[in-house]
Chain A
Amino acid sequence: MSETRFITTQALAELTAELLAAGTRVVAPAEAADGAVDYQVISNAKDVVLDERMPRRSLRGFFQPPTEQVFTWNRTDSGFSLKPVDLSTEPWVVLGARPCDAAGAAAIDAVMNGEPKDDLWMRRRETVTVIGLACAAMGPGCFCELVGKGPADTTGSDILLRPAQGGYIVEIVTPRGQAFVEAHSAKFTSTDAEVQAPPKRYDPAPMDRIEAWLEANFNDEFWQELSLRCLGCGTCTSICPTCYCFDIVDEPVGTSAGARRRNWDTCQVGLFTLHASGHNPRPEQTNRCRQRIMHKFYIYPHRHDILLCTGCGRCVVACPTGVNLPEILTGIAGRAGEDTTMGGPA
């Protein structure tokens, strides 16, 4: 499906206002109180920010909130009862998803949609229409092309908006996107406008070689070197569009009631894998740094044939000690015997 339309900036704002007026939940980039841009639930179409500023955090939290209730329980004299959360979800819209964030959520579907299906995740995925926004410029950490994606990648978007003079060229990607455009057909016009070539920074890394190297080099000294500057803070995993690991905990209220919650977790802390006996299969930061890289570039591709990284670059920008995924991938490619000149910022 590669049908294209055009929507003016004005028509897009009107469309957003109409969605909001109809009671549709719309999530889009908007300025936070401190002036930075975050994906937020929008209440006014004017708040939507579709400029070059990358939202600080990924879309993960809208599909898997940092903490969410799974069920509540209650113990009374007449017995014990358990009340599951209401899983019904109204159709909703993400407007202005960066291609890396749209692709990130789609990558996680592979594990969540496997049997038995994770309905807490999938109910939000199955009801969303993702309107992606192609990037007009590279952000400071961006490396999407290195992992085989790109500033105009359509993975995970139902519709992709590509900035053009006076508005956006609209690429219809999925049947859901087609249905959305048809439902609001008055806002879209036909077009023969040319899309601008997206910005470019990297050539794709040899991901097959990298995956093969990772499979064969669990004990390489590379992991020690990598971990020496890692503080184990887990910031990289909390802003990542493809991290999904979680904890399940109880939150009692007194002794007769409580809730079970699912919370974000991170592979970067020792408690993640600590056994009750005190034994820990990943006792050192070296093991945990390795797990992050292995999961994204070997384990997940091995199991699901999808890379668990979309090159959003947030981890590169946010890491307090400068752990840098493009450098790591380049380093591994070098060890795997590949040409290491993959471009990148001068």
Chain B
Amino acid sequence: MNVYEPYLMTIDDVIDETADTRTLRLKFQDESVAESFDFRAGQFGEYSAFGAGECTFCIASPPTRRGYLECTFKSAGKVTSALRDLNPGDTVGFRGPYGNHFPLNEMEGKDLVFIAGGIGLAPVRCVIWNVLDQRDKYGKVTIVYGARSVGDLCYKRELQEWSERDDVTLWQTVDPGGETPEWKGEVGFVPTVLEKAAPSAETACAVLCGPPIMIKLTLPTLKKLGFEDDAIYTTLENRMKCGIGKCGRCNIGHVYVCVDGPVFTAAQLAALPPEY
């Protein structure tokens, strides 16, 4: 095998999250790979739609659930459109896992605050399930999730499940104008709702992912709540081709998102040039 040769995987299930966002559940075709494959929450892969090319997504399912991988993507370009055209039983390619991961060992015993916007919930969801599957290792779990509209909320069945758990505090919000008459959640932007949720920053970590504008506006709120820059984790995604530090395009200054990231602390982000 050369480093650019993917594992073959079969689409086991297709879940439409929103009008333009889809989750694929994938299973390795090679039994021995299925048994030995391991990864850590926050890592990513290169997914192939053969004939269209490769695309970079995080692994959206948690490492605590073995036997399959999930990826969630918005139909935006050539490869994502081709992936969207595939059906259960079809073959796709996967290279990975690549990159670093969230430091879940260091987070043990701490309260965790998860903040996500739109499809940014995908990498955060991987961590959330990892934590919930090992619930007694962690303190309080608070989730603040926002989307432009009710229709744009991803993982709706899981949001329902989290909202029903008494060991999870879930705040859901949609942008003003994005609500429906039946909407029971918040209306407003993520930073505002985060301030209202006001999770304690004492022995806590925040995991943050969403569009750049949301991250930019949420960081000051986290600071106001008392979160230090090295207790705030986020995950970046630049255009990538190889995923292994060779193809030369995902760097931010001297940092390569594919091998030095994709997980960074807010303190690390602050030290990077504005090139992401």
Contacts and interface: CB of A to CB of B under 8 A. Distances in A.
Contacts of A215: 254
Interface centre among B4, B74, B93, B250 (most CB of A within 10 A): B4
A84 B250 CA distance: 26
Interface string A283-305: 00001000100110011001100
Nearest to B4: A70
B248 A295 contact: yes
Given A246-B247, A247-B241, A281-B275, A70 B51 contact: no
Interface string A205-237: 000000000010011000000000000000000
Nearest to B250: A273
Interface in B1-49: 1-6, 8, 48
A112 interface: yes
Contacts of A120: 2-4
B252 interface: yes
B238 A250 contact: no
A84 B1 contact: yes
Given A82-B5, A282-B275, A73 B254 contact: no
A295 B247 CA distance: 12
A193 interface: no
Interface centre among A80, A117, A265, A281 (most CB of B within 10 A): A281
A166 interface: no
A249 B53 contact: yes
Interface in B227-276: 237-239, 241-242, 244-254, 273-276
Contacts of B244: 116, 118
Interface in A259-274: 260, 262, 265, 267, 272-274
Contacts of B1: 84
Main SS at interface, chain B: loop
Given A73-B50, A80-B91, A281 B4 contact: no
Interface in B37-82: 48, 50-55, 74, 76-77, 80
Given A118-B246, A299-B251, A299-B254, A248 B4 contact: yes
A337 interface: no
Interface string B180-222: 0000000000000000000000000000000010000000000
Contacts of A260: 4, 48, 53-54
Contacts of A73: 50
A293 to B, nearest CB: 13
Contacts of A282: 275
Given A70-B2, A84-B1, A275-B238, A248 B54 contact: yes
Nearest to A279: B212
A256 to B, nearest CB: 9
Interface string A21-54: 0000000000000000000000000000000000
Contacts, number: 117
A262 B2 CA distance: 13
A119 B2 CA distance: 6
Contacts of A71: 2, 4-5
A182 to B, nearest CB: 33
B254 A298 contact: yes
B208 to A, nearest CB: 18
Nearest to A114: B245
A119 B168 CA distance: 47
A298 B255 CA distance: 11
Contacts of B238: 273, 275, 281
Given A71-B5, A287-B275, A111 B239 contact: no
A276 interface: yes
B5 A294 contact: no
Contacts of A80: 8, 50, 91
Given A116-B3, A246-B247, A294 B53 contact: no
A119 B4 CA distance: 9
Contacts of B51: 250, 252, 255, 258
A179 interface: no
A244 interface: yes
B249 A273 contact: yes
A84 B5 contact: yes
A244 B80 CA distance: 27
B252 A281 contact: yes
A248 B247 contact: yes
A213 B13 CA distance: 52
Interface in B85-134: 91, 93
B76 A276 contact: yes
A277 B249 CA distance: 16
A250 B77 contact: no
Interface in A298-330: 298-299, 302-303
9 contacts: A82-B8, A111-B245, A248-B242, A249-B53, A273-B250, A275-B237, A276-B55, A276-B80, A291-B251
Given A247-B247, A275-B237, 17 more contacts: A75-B50, A84-B5, A111-B246, A114-B245, A118-B3, A118-B244, A245-B247, A248-B54, A250-B51, A250-B54, A252-B51, A262-B4, A265-B248, A281-B238, A281-B252, A282-B275, A299-B253
